Structure 1
Amino acid sequence: MSRSRKSIRQCGRDGGSGIGGIAASDEGLPEIGVVTKLKSKPHQFYSRILPRKSEGMPISPVKMLAGREGNYSGRSRFTSADRCHLSSRYLPVNGPSVIDRMTSCAYVSQFSADGTLFVAGFQDSDIKIYNVDNGWKVKKNIRARSLRWTITDTSLSPDQRFLVYSSMSPIVHIVNIGSAMTESVANVTEIHEGLDFSGHDDDEEDDYSFGIFSVKFSTDGRELVAASSDDSIYVYDLAANKLNVRIPAHRSDVNAVCFADEAGHVLYSGSDDHLCKVWDRRCLGTRGIESGVLTGHLEGITFIDSHGDGHYLISNGKDQAIKLWDIRKMSSNARSNISIAPPRHIEWDYRWMEYPSHLRNRKHPNDLSVCTYRGHRVLRTLIRCYFSPSYSTGQKYIYTGSADAHIYIYDMVSGAQVARLEYHDQIVRDCSWHPFDPMIGSSSWDGVIASWELKRN
């Protein structure tokens, strides 16, 4: 679906349904449920100090501290599961504190991998990088080069020396954020090198044949993967400074792409053709055929996030649902899955229309998802969703922005809505959970960057 470049300036607060998730399948969920439990279940020796504690009930922090001091685990410290059991009870829902307030819609917000930096991208071409440990002081204020429509995505390199940003253009720009310069104005105070994803030999700034919706660094920092409006996935080799591969991936805009795990061989993609696809780069050959297809969404997919284990991912859809997938259940035949799907509601356009109430209960006849989460709203823009951090929560939760101006947090296994964060006046397109601390950063079309902190669950 092509997109209008005209901004939707206002988005009123309209209250979500608040309905929790509903399991779509019993297959696959028990396994990830066990994995999540193992990652957030305290050591068995704690049962010695609470022999009558009901199974599944959380152990109080006081008892856990007493157990640690008494060396009940035999390690004189908390295990990673102990830590997750303790910290996952404290959700970052207090506040928020307003970090910044701009006159432009905020589209992107992400913590760095170590949590020391926070990146926010705005529609008027500003990209701000805040030093979280230094009172959220602005470390870098970047004025984007050759912006088209908005900043659609940003990504920090693993070593946090470089940042790439994209817009509705095939040119992705890269800037050195490690320099001493605070004000980084494109090609005035600093060079913002253009990386051409169209395959041309030069930086053709007037070539807007397609735009980039999503761009990500590989774990080793050597490659970029991008999703585009020309129905394709691109992989760019930074060392060779050239486009490495183009995959004609879908039948409509590819809104999201990410690496499945640290190895970087497998990619996940999500498109307006309502399909998630799995790509193994070692098996693409000359035809560029996907390894598998995941069906279940009834409208386009706005974002995907990998669990990081090479098996699970989540996707946010314009059918007002997040879906959890296990790629071991994927189908190998996209055509047959499309042919048996219910027809799309052609008269509905998510950019300016509410989702029709009579469509909310529709189900895909070949839904391969493991679980479905509902309550938030996906309208007007490509709203993002994520797994909560592994270090502090054991990836126990799924969280998302919403068109009703809230942030929703769901229990991944039960599907229950455990929190709804209310402050913003307009769409929350993106939000990010700190990798180690109980803190969520949010960005909204009201121009506000906010920080939410912990409260006991």
Structure 2
Amino acid sequence: MLSRYLPVKGPWLVDQMSTRAYVSQFSADGSLFVAGFQGSYIRIYNVEDGWKVQKNILAKSLRWTVTDTSLSPDQRHLVYASMSPVVHIVDVGSAETESLANVTELHDGLDFSSSSDGSYSFGIFSVKFSTDGRELVAGSSDDSIYVYDLEQNKLSLKILAHTSDVNTVCFADESGHLLFSGSDDNLCKVWDRRCFIAKGKPAGVLSGHLEGITFIDSHGDGRYFISNGKDQTIKLWDIRKMAPNATSYSGLRNYEWDYRWMDYPYEARDLKHPSDQSIATYKGHSVLRTLIRCYFSPVYSTGQKYIYTGSHDSCVYIYDLVTGEQVASLQHHKSTVRDCSWHPYYPMLVSSSWDGDVVKWEFPCNGEAQVPATKKRIRRQ
């Protein structure tokens, strides 16, 4: 029965911007949707009110692009990050629709840097509220994981976590004790926050990717997670297989390659890590140019039966978790799909692309999805 409820009908336009869409996520209850763009705009849509823009945020001190956003557990505050050590926080529930820093509202700056000269020595790729909303955890371009104490309004911890950029951090479950991180050193690491102070050593390491990790999503049970890699694969992991330590393996790489502007070498596509600890691998999508994200499908509507991901080839791919089979490919966009989000309760998926389009896909109810009156329908390519 679950296979009948894939959100493949459409798409229908949610929004269209003149700059690249980098981030797009439903809130935990599905009532809000957040999209962040390279041109400084972050928009929060009220899903239950016909996708009306509830908040239009002009990001402060943006460097390059909005790299990540995170809603607080109570959905009252949003933090956004860019290629800067300063993360900004905005009041989502305020009366102001237009949120311009220091004009209509304050965008409080939370400085993750220990530098006092205000220099932008690193950027933040990934930021997440803790499960109790009291802290922020971030991964950065200086190979580190940071913890910011919101109640004390200060940086509380820095760990030199990897030997290259930390592109992604993710909580393992609702307890907030375990944290996963992924890096350009090709490694995924598991951290126990109760032991953070123990010389900054991870609880364990998982190796298997041949190139850098772009994103990690947790199954939510504190045991399984998936990672997207620049080796053009998604891998499924069980932390019970983790090792106490590992080093990045590059023995098979006899070619020069930069994922920011080169296609993945043909000769690299069938290479395998000699000590791959993953329990499944999914192929078909492409991970190039940017930190493309992948996710488990929702518990409520799918039982987490699927994995879905954006792709450099302008599509959204959906894989069967168990068989690895590609069960759907959503085609509309004209450029890289960096992020996508499946509604937690409804058979609806929203994709956002570097072409500036944010569109929604639905399961066809009564043969046809409902088109919001205020939105224009767009043709599939």
**TM-score (ref. length: structure 2):** 0.94
Structure with greater helix percent? 1
Residue from 262, 273, 281 that aligns with 1:372: 281
1:244 pairs, out of 156, 168, 187, with 156
1:215-274 CA-partner distances (Å, limit 9, x unpaired) = 011111111110000000011111111111111000000000011111111110000000
In the other structure, the counterpart of 2:246 is 334
Q: Which residue of 2 aligns with 1:15?
A: none
Partner of 2:203: 291
Whole-angstrom distance in 2 between the partners of 1:186 and 1:446:
27
Task: Tell me the amino acid that sits aligned with residue 92 of structure 1.
Answer: P
- 1:156 maps to 71
Letter in 2 for 1:151: V
Q: Distance in 2 between matches of 1:344 and 1:230?
A: 24
What residue in structure 1 maps to residue 229 of structure 2? 317
User: Which amino acid is 1:168 matched to?
Assistant: M
1:447 aligns with 2:356: yes
Counterpart of 1:362, as a letter, is: L
Query: Which residue identity does 1:383 align to in structure 2?
Result: I
Amino acid of the structure 2 residue aligned with 1:150: T
Residue 267 of structure 2 corresponds to: 358
User: Are positions 1:94 and 2:94 aligned together?
Assistant: no
> Which residue in 1 is equivalent to 2:337?
428
Kindly report structure 1 stretches of 4+ aligned residues shifted beyond 3 Å: 343-346
Report what 1:180 is aligned to: 95
Please state how far the C-alpha of 1:132 moved relative to its aligned partner: 0.7
Contact 1:325 1:369 in 2 (8 A): yes
Q: How does 1:125-164 map to 2 (within 5 A)?
A: 125-164=40-79
| Number of the residue aligned with 1:273 | 185
Distance change >3 Å, CA 346–CA 249, structure 1 → 2: farther
Letter in 1 for 2:8: V
Structure 1, residues 295-329: CA drift from partner, whole Å, max 9, x if none? 00000000000001010000000000000000000
Matched to 2:230, the amino acid is K
Q: Tell me, in whole angstroms, the C-alpha distance in 1 between the residues paired with 2:90 and 2:327.
A: 39
Aligned partner of residue 392 in structure 1, secondary structure: helix
Q: Deviations over 1:363-418 (max 9, x none)?
A: 00000000000000000000000000001111000000000000000000100000
Supply the distance in 1 between the matched residues of 2:233 and 2:261 (Cα, whole angstroms): 18
Cα gap change, 1:286/1:332 in structure 2, threshold over 3 Å: closer, same or farther? closer
Distance 1:199 1:411 in 2: 44
In the alignment, structure 1 residue 119 sits paired with structure 2 residue 31: no
Q: Kindly indicate whether the alpha-carbon contact (under 8 Å) linking 1:342 and 1:364 is maintained by their aligned counterparts in 2.
A: no
User: For residues 258 and 109 of structure 1, what CA distance do their matches in structure 2 show?
Assistant: 16
Candidates 110, 128, 153, aligned match of 1:216:
128
* 1:300 is aligned to 2:217: no
Match of 2:370 in 1: none
On the 8 A contact 2:319/2:325 being kept in 1, the answer is yes
Give the Å deviation of 1:285: 3.3
* Count of residue pairs the alignment pairs up: 365
Contact 1:98-1:451 at 8 Å conserved across structures: yes
1:29-77 Cα distance to aligned partner (Å, 9 max, x none): xxxxxxxxxxxxxxxxxxxxxxxxxxxxxxxxxxxxxxxxxxxxxxxxx
Report the CA distance between 1:284 and its aligned residue.
3.1
Give the residue type in structure 2 aligned to 1:105. Answer: R
Structure 1 residue 172 displacement after superposition: 0.2
Q: Distance in 1 between matches of 2:250 and 2:263?
A: 22
Describe the SS at the equivalent of 2:236: strand
Counterpart secondary structure, 2:7: strand
The answer to whether the aligner puts 1:419 opposite 2:334 as a matched pair is: no
Distance change in 2, residues 1:344/1:187 (3 Å): farther
Higher relative contact order (CA 8 A, sep 6+): 1
Query: Where does residue 67 of structure 1 map in the other structure?
Result: none
Alpha-carbon separation, structure 1, partners of 2:182 and 2:253: 17
Indicate if the aligned counterparts of 1:351 and 1:379 stay in contact, CA closer than 8 A. Answer: yes
- Residue 238 and residue 345 in structure 1: after superposition, are their counterparts in 2 closer, same or farther (change >3 A)? farther
Partner of 1:227: 139
Higher-Rg member (1/2): 1
Letter in 2 for 1:398: I
Larger relative strand fraction: 2
Aligned-pair identity (%): 71
The residue identity in structure 2 corresponding to 1:396 is: K
Cα distance between partner residues in 2 of 1:144 and 1:186: 7
Contact 1:341 1:365 in 2 (8 A): no
**Residue of structure 2 in register with 1:108 after alignment:** 23
Is contact 2:252-2:271 (8 Å) kept? no
Question: CA 1:191–1:346 in structure 2 vs 1: closer, same or farther (change >3 Å)?
Answer: farther
CA contact (8 A) 1:257 1:267 kept: yes
Q: CA RMSD in A?
A: 1.3
What are the Cα deviations for residues 2-51 of structure 1, in whole angstroms up to 9, with x where unaligned? xxxxxxxxxxxxxxxxxxxxxxxxxxxxxxxxxxxxxxxxxxxxxxxxxx
- Tell me the distance in 2 between the aligned counterparts of 1:344 and 1:193: 44
Q: Separation in 2 of the partners of 1:124 and 1:146?
A: 12
**Other structure's SS at 1:89 match:** helix
TM-score between the two structures when normalised by the length of structure 1: 0.78
